[in-house]
Structure formats: structure tokens, C-alpha cells
Amino acid sequence: MKKILTLTIVLTSFLSGTKIHAQGCAEPTSDEGVTIWGYLQPEFVTYFEEDTRANFQFRRMRIGAMGNIPYDFSYYVLVETSNFMNPEGNGAYLLDAFVSYNRLDFAKVAIGSFKYPFGLELSTACHGLYTIRRSRIVNEMTINYDGTSNRDIGIMVLGGSKTSLLAYQVALTNGYGIFSTNNNLFDSYSLTGRATVQPIEGLKIGGSMRYGTLPPESDDPSITEDDSKMRFGFDISYMKGKYMIQAEYIDGEDKGSYTTGGGCDGGPATTSVGTKYTEGLYVIGAYRFANNLEPVYKIETFSSTEKSTESANSGDELSSVCQTFGLNYYPNDWTRLQLNYTYAAEDPKEVKNDALLLQLQVKF
């Protein structure tokens, strides 16, 4: 707790008098009444695996409500209704639900469930991504302890705006996501922080950190030390006119229990005990033409070294390079059509897992 207080005091000393940026995907449009908003993302996907398969699905179907309450309070709620996105099974579930206290411009406080404040791509709203999928390194390194989502329940202090020189977010959360509170903060927690600086208009540089501990998940009585997870991230982006380029690097170390996923879409798949070192980066660029066509190119790398105490193959290494070739079209301010082709190459063994994705998005 002393670390949180010290970091908050240092950062907020630079931010007095600035407007606050919200930690949700949108902000209230007025100071009175309730704002209802949401977006739909139906899509068609073709997977070029050993046996090619294709299907229609909804990546996301989200609806939310937000508003300001006189005086100094605001609320934000977001619900996911797509069965395809529910890690616990079928049915709608709550994503974000927090209440914010806004009296202090340099230190807004929010309590509830929210997305981890880590990195550039994770901080970007789903409806604002340039590609349909997030990067594998982002997916695997920003999930909670039980591997279900990149959201958690806790308290966040934040300040700064999209145009201010400095902005920050610091969050203390349970670490087990929005589906569980079966922990004690004295035994397990997650501390996440992100700070950005904008030295000139259009150029933004960010740094992120996350550290958490949890009791050992292994049944081995000889294991007495807590599991720990450490993450570091660095990102940079530049936007000028119709040009956009951004890059992000994430490095992490898991001691104790760790999860391992697969493919460029990267969800967690298995749990092992030992130590896992992971790093990766992505670079993405886009240009919006006058006819609202936007070509996109993204290249991402991912590598991990696993030293498992439960496997004879201790020291296994995995690396992959994934490229996404995309084309976005914006008929208007509320609608977007995205076409992505992803090509993935793995080492030591390359598998067939390329994909062609077509998604139509509508916001309301």
C-alpha cells in the first residue's frame, strides 16, 4: 500500500488542474440523464487449418449505460451479451461496473470492475482497434490469474487527459478477474500501473507495470513460496493527419503456476508449474484515404521459455511471428467494415492456423 501512495503522490504533483480521461470505452455525452450506448460486431471467419472450416459468429455484442450524478460522482456499466466471448459458458455477463469520484481533477478514484490499465493496445477500446484481433503478447500477458479475462475488481486512481503532458492510472485489484472473489488481499493481489507522456502533439510514449502474488496452486507440499507474476511494457504511437503508426513491447516472468495459450489470438490453454519467461512486440501502421479506405499492416512477435517442474522437457522454447494484412472501410462515423488476413509462422514446429476474418461493426 505504501508503494501505491508514493506513486500516486509523485504522479499527481504533475497533474493538478487537468481534465480526467475515463477508464471506460466511452464517456458521458452530457451532465444530465443516462447515456445508453453500445456496439455490435458480427463477423465471418475462415480458418485454414488441417481441415479448413468457416462460420458466422458475433465477436462482441455490448451495451452499456453511463452518466454523471451531482455532485462529483459518475457511473459506468458495460454488459457483454455474445455467447462467443463468455469464458464461463453461455449467456450475458457483466464486464465493467464502477462508480467514480471526480472532485479532485488530478486524482479521480474509481471502485468496481474495470479493465487492467496496462499497455496501449489493451487500453484501446475494442471498437477502436485497427485490426479485428488483439496481439498475442497482449492477450496472454494481460489476463488475470485464472486466465478468464483482462478485467478485474478493485480500486483505481487516475489523472490526466488525452491531450495533457502526463497521464497516469494505478489500480489495486483482486487478481482473479470479474468472476471470482475467492481471495484475500493479504494473500493475493494485483498492482497495475500505466503512465503516458505526450511531449508534442500526436506523439505519445507510455510505460506500464504489473505485479501480483497468489498462493501456490500446486498440490506439492514442498512448494511453500507464493506464485508471482511480473509484467513490464513500453509503447509509442504517432498520429498525424491520416497517418498512424504504433509499437508496443511487453516482457514478463511467471514464477510458480503459469498459463500457456496458442495461436495469434492467444487465449490461455494449459497450466503448468515452474518458471515462464515471455516477451513480444508488435508494430502496426495505417493510412486513411479520402474515400475512407484504410489499409493496415501489422507484424507481431511472441517468444516464451518454460522451465517446468512437472515436465521432462524443461527449458522448452516457443517463438512465433504473425502478420496481419487488413483493409478497413468507414461508410460513416458509426459503421466500419474490416477485412483481415493473418499469416502465422511458429518455431520449432509450424502449424496451419492462418485465418481470414470479415467483420462489420455498428456503434450506437
Summarize pLDDT for 121-174 with one digit per residue, the tens. Answer: 999 999 999 999 999 999 999 988 777 789 999 999 999 887 889 999 999 999
Mean pLDDT of 58-75: 92
Helices (H), the chain: 2-12, 120-123, 136-141
Per DSSP, the three-state class of 249 is strand
Mean pLDDT of 47-65: 92
How would you classify the pairing of strands 268-287 and 166-173? unpaired
Mean pLDDT of 227-234: 94
Residues 234-255: b if buried by 16+ CB within 10 A, e if exposed: bbbbeeeeeebebbbbbbbebb
Better-predicted residue by pLDDT, 110 or 344: 110
Burial class from Cβ neighbours inside 10 Å (0-12, 13-18, 19+) for residue 302 reads: buried
Report d(CA 317, CA 6) in Å as an integer: 38
**Least confident among 114-118, 157-161, 199-203, 222-226:** 222-226
**Least confident among 32-36, 55-59, 183-187, 258-262:** 258-262
Report d(CA 47, CA 263) in Å as an integer: 12
Domains of the chain: 2-363 (2.40.160.10)
- Residue 32: is its pLDDT beyond 80? no
Question: What pLDDT, in 10s, does the model give residues 84-108?
Answer: 777 666 678 899 999 999 998 889 9
According to DSSP, the residues that pair with 61 across neighbouring strands are 40
**Least confident among 21-25, 76-80, 158-162:** 21-25
Report d(CA 254, CA 226) in Å as an integer: 11
- Residue 20: is its pLDDT beyond 50? no
Q: Which of 141-155, 256-270, 333-347 has the highest mean pLDDT?
A: 333-347
CA-CA distances (angstroms) from residue 11 to 14, 71, 101, 122, 196?
A: 6, 25, 18, 22, 11
Average pLDDT of the chain, as a whole number: 84
DSSP structure class, residue 107: -
Residues 64-100: b if buried by 16+ CB within 10 A, e if exposed: bbbbbeeeeebbbbbbbbbeebbeeeeeebebbbbeb
